[in-house]
């Protein structure tokens, strides 16, 4: 027995030595990963040097306010020893949007995003005696709706601006008279912008963002981002809670459109969960139905699309049948642009004046690579396999909606209920691409994210009949 064990031991030892002898230098990996892949310096048009963040792979280059960035020349480019980049000295590059550059050294590589930013002087938030102004950044106007009980001959402004911007005039903006338009001049390096502030006295808003929280500050980050955009950029708007709607303390006499964007971390996938998470909306349902049946229109986005059933807008009483969502703080980071299809609906009012890719007029892009998204989706699965609607035509005839946006698998991700019998119109956007808030991500340089705001503005104007 002992002899057998000794022979077995010698056999194992021999096999081990044979295997070890095969692990020579000839079997080492042939990959070359030792070289650095950094951009150490980049200069455009002889004078504009980049600020390089090697940790995050970002490069920011500042230029004057009105500088043409569509064909900038790479004047200097210093890389790690032995490295090469997808751009070189002498290249002319369109930096009107962020550009991706890959640096390689042997088999090692690193990706940079280069963003050219103009000097910019912006008023980001404007209030008069606490009343939020609607800021139009295209024509530099600010509209503020003030109740008739306020004295507009003596109003105090409070404002927030982008970093580096200061107010040139007026020198003192407390207790100013807004009976006539007032000009605010702001400046940041080469940028000098004049905003014209116009006050309208009215006790009723044309557009109301309605939500579950008692006030804007109590909304979740996704909803807060949406409503703050509206208050800054859409004239004649206000926020109202469903609770106040139910109590009858909100003046709806001039209201043409109500918008509700409902985010629920982790998503919902049935009406029972909607009822549990959005109970406050049910308390106001009679007032909301009265508004809708009298000709008022609604924009319902994300999980608020379930509310169309409560309003009686559907024929079959069904809610979206294919729904999910992630959590804000752990949402996925996109590795490329996200979009949904619009097929033959490119002429629809929702999809006008968006940033589109050449030759892709059938797609709406809403964010670029690097965006953190929850992919919160409330869509309609179409097919005979499950869901109850074998074709789009069957869904439209049985459910009563009109499809205007589609997922890659043919699902319906944007739709509307057309005005009928005195009722208003309803636009629903349930695509996971439609997203306002990216946790921990700076979206200021995102090529496509502005399409979310523009599409929303288009929807509001469309529902207002403009």
Q: What is the pLDDT of residues 404-430, one digit of tens each?
A: 999 999 999 999 999 999 999 999 999
3-class SS of residue 63: strand
Give the per-residue pLDDT at 4.
Answer: 40
Give the per-residue pLDDT at 427.
Answer: 98
pLDDT band at 466 (very low <50, low <70, confident <90, very high): confident
CATH 2.60.40.2340 describes domain 123-201 = yes
Closest by Cα among 161, 147, 145, 137 to 235: 145
CATH of region 207-464, choose from 3.90.870.10, 3.40.50.880, 3.90.650.10, 3.40.50.620 = 3.40.50.880
Give the per-residue pLDDT at 133.
Answer: 87
Give the per-residue pLDDT at 445.
Answer: 87
168-197: average pLDDT: 96
The 10s digit of each residue's pLDDT in 295-326 is 999 999 999 999 999 999 999 999 999 999 99
Q: Please write down the long-range contacts of 27-35, taking CB distance under 8 Å and 24 or more positions apart.
A: 31/106, 31/107, 32/105, 32/106, 32/107, 32/108, 33/106, 33/107, 33/108, 34/106, 34/108, 35/80, 35/81, 35/82, 35/83, 35/105, 35/106, 35/108
Give the per-residue pLDDT at 134.
Answer: 85
> In the chain, which segments carry CATH 3.40.50.880?
207-464
Give the per-residue pLDDT at 147.
Answer: 87
CATH 2.60.40.2340 describes domain 39-118 = yes
396-403: average pLDDT: 98
Give the per-residue pLDDT at 33.
Answer: 62
Q: Percentage of residues in the chain with pLDDT exceeding 90?
A: 81
| Inter-helix orientation angle 221-233/450-464, to 10° | 60
Looking only at the bridges linking them, the beta strands covering 99-105 and 84-85 are antiparallel
Give the per-residue pLDDT at 25.
Answer: 44
> In the chain, which segments carry CATH 2.60.40.2340?
39-118, 123-201
Contact partners, residue 205, CB within 8 Å, separation at least 6: 145, 236, 237, 238, 251, 254, 255
């Amino acid at each position: 027995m002992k002899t057998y064990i000794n022979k077995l031991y010698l056999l194992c030892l021999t096999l081990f030595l044979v295997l070890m002898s095969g692990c020579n230098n000839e079997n080492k990996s042939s990959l070359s990963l030792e070289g650095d892949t950094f951009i150490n310096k980049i200069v455009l048009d002889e004078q504009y040097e980049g600020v390089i963040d090697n940790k995050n792979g970002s490069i920011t280059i500042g230029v004057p306010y009105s500088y043409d960035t569509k064909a900038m020349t790479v004047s200097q480019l210093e890389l790690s020893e032995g490295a090469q980049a997808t751009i070189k000295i002498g290249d002319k590059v369109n930096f009107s949007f962020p550009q991706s550059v890959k640096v390689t050294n042997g088999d090692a590589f690193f990706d940079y995003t280069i963003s050219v930013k103009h000097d910019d002087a912006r008023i980001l938030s404007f209030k008069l005696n606490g009343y939020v102004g609607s800021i139009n950044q295209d024509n530099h106007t600010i509209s503020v709706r003030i109740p008739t009980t306020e004295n507009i001959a003596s109003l105090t402004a409070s404002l927030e601006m982008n970093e580096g911007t200061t107010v040139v005039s007026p020198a003192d903006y407390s207790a100013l008279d807004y009976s006539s338009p007032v000009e605010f001049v702001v400046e940041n390096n080469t940028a000098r912008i004049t905003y014209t502030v116009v006050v309208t006295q009215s006790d009723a808003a044309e557009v109301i963002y309605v939500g579950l929280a008692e006030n804007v500050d109590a909304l979740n980050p996704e909803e807060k981002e949406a409503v703050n955009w509206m208050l800054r950029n859409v004239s004649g708007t206000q926020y109202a809670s469903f609770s106040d709607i139910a109590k009858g303390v909100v003046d709806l006499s001039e209201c043409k459109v109500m918008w509700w964007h409902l985010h629920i971390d982790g998503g919902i996938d049935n009406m029972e969960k909607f009822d549990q998470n959005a109970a406050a909306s049910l308390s106001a349902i009679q007032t909301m139905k009265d508004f809708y049946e009298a000709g008022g229109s609604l924009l319902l986005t994300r999980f608020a699309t379930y509310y169309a059933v409560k309003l009686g807008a559907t024929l079959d009483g069904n809610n979206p049948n294919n729904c999910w969502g992630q959590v804000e703080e752990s949402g996925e980071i996109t590795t490329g642009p996200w979009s949904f299809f619009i097929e033959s609906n490119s002429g629809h009012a929702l999809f006008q004046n968006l940033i589109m890719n050449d030759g892709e007029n059938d797609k709406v892009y809403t964010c670029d690579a690097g965006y953190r998204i929850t992919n919160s989706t409330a869509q309609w699965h179409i097919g005979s396999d499950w869901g109850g609607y074998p074709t789009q035509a069957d869904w439209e005839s049985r459910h009563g909606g009109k499809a205007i946006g589609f997922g890659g698998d043919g699902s319906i991700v944007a739709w509307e209920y057309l005005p009928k019998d005195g009722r208003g119109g309803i636009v629903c956007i349930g695509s996971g691409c439609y997203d306002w808030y990216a946790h921990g991500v700076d979206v200021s340089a995102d090529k496509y994210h502005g399409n979310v705001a523009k599409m929303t503005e288009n929807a509001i104007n469309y529902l207002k009949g403009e």
